[in-house]
Structure 1
Amino acid sequence: MDPRLAIPHAEPGNRIGLFGGSFNPPHSGHRLVADIALARLGLDRLWWLVTPGNPLKDHSELAPLARRLDAVEAIARHPRMVVTALETQLGTAYSARTLARLTQLRPRLNFVWVMGADNLAGFHRWQDWRGIFARVPIAVVDRPGATLPALASPAAQSFAGNRLDEADARLLPGMAPPAWTFLTGPRDASSSTRIRALARDR
């Protein structure tokens, strides 16, 4: 079996960022989100969770999983970043179910869900999104054009009282959920959708 399909090794107590996506393809904006989360949250590891297929997205242009894993490995070269498609082994298609299984199987790890602000804007459309907030702390990293839609979103408004000031972001991995923070900083406008469109037009 491809070792990238297994749950990565981690030591008890490790602070693990979970950065999920189809990464179709991965780009410098993804890497910037990963770098910001790794540094600002004081993570021991950041796992890039390459999904077999996002249930909310059209799969007609989805590259094969192995090709996307290879592409993410090429962009995520860092001693504390790990690339995995563990959802294939777990048999979970939705993030809420993945988190339920991971926290059950690795209860001694401190997981944090990491996502770009563009995902927070539509987070209320994810399956059991309130359950995700209740299961693990969440770090939202700002993305170009997504700041206001993200912070005005139903998810942000519903959990406004659980928001941690970004100055205290390093406390997040050890906090009991629901807890979340919004991390600002450098932004990169790269887009998987735009990259695929440019490829089609060639």
Structure 2
Amino acid sequence: MPHVEPGMSVGLFGGSFNPPHQGHELVAEIALRRLGLDQLWWMVTPGNPLKNHDDLASLDERVALSRRMAPGPRVKVTAFEAAYKLHYTAQTLAFVKARNPGINFVWIMGADNLRHFHKWQNWRGIARTFPIAVIDRPGSTLAYLSSKMAKTFSHARIDEDDAAILPFLRAPAWTFIHGPRSSLSSSAIRNERATNKTAAS
């Protein structure tokens, strides 16, 4: 787990990053800038329980690729969830909170995940552990209005113009941040690679 000092504001950006791409880099850059973060932990997970793992690259490979992609020294690429055998986001956030008193954490997610967030294990618990910043992604701009999470926690949403105070708020608190969007996705990249491999064989 990366080193932090009391009083820091830290974004938690988790995913399988299979593979990492410029869309992930853009989310990290927007979060750092709009939330005024001291650090962003780019957390490479062992695997997503809601996804098929047949085409999952090794953890070491995904960490190495993520380190090449990470935009600047404030982004700390880590895979501590594997070391501590943490399989669900709710577990991870509870673990991070217990180990790091005095740190202002924010959970960072792309808007494409917001649509299915209510299917995550203990999703309400996640929303009540740390504030959440949802970063816009292509095709998901309206998810902040229509998703079950958005409706359930509508009372806890703050305006994106106030995003810089989000790390200092008590959960539940969340905002939706609009900005530049990348059309890249990990699944599309994997599909293209598989198609090219088939065509070459």
TM-score (norm 1): 0.95
Query: Identity over the aligned pairs, expressed in percent?
Result: 56
Counterpart of 1:74 in structure 2 is 68
1:115 corresponds to which of 109, 114, 118: 109
2:31 counterpart of 1:44: no
Instruction: Name the CA distance, whole Å, in 1 between partners of 2:130 and 2:184.
Output: 28
CA contact (8 A) 1:90 1:101 kept: no
CA-CA distance at 1:151 after TM superposition: 2.5
Counterpart of 1:137 in structure 2 is 131
User: AA paired with 2:24?
Assistant: H
Residue correspondence of structure 1 range 7-86 to structure 2 within 5 A = 7-86=1-80
User: AA paired with 1:9?
Assistant: H
Counterpart of 1:4 in structure 2 is none
CA-to-aligned-CA distance 1:109-140 (integer Å, 9 cap, x gap):
11100000000110000000000010100000
Structure 2: tracts of 5 or more residues without a match: 197-201
Structure 1: tracts of 5 or more residues without a match: 1-6
Number of residue-to-residue matches in the alignment: 196
2:139 counterpart of 1:173: no
Instruction: Name the CA distance, whole Å, in 2 between partners of 1:8 and 1:89.
Output: 13
Counterpart of 1:159 in structure 2 is 153
CA-to-aligned-CA distance 1:43-74 (integer Å, 9 cap, x gap):
00000000001111111000000000000001
Instruction: Name the CA distance, whole Å, in 2 between partners of 1:151 and 1:45.
Output: 29
Counterpart of 2:199 in structure 1 is none
CA-CA distance at 1:79 after TM superposition: 1.3
CA contact (8 A) 1:90 1:98 kept: no
CA contact (8 A) 1:118 1:150 kept: no
CA-to-aligned-CA distance 1:13-33 (integer Å, 9 cap, x gap):
110000000000000000000
Counterpart of 1:3 in structure 2 is none
Comparing 144-153 and 62-71, the one that deviates more: 144-153
User: AA paired with 1:80?
Assistant: R
CA-CA distance at 1:150 after TM superposition: 4.0
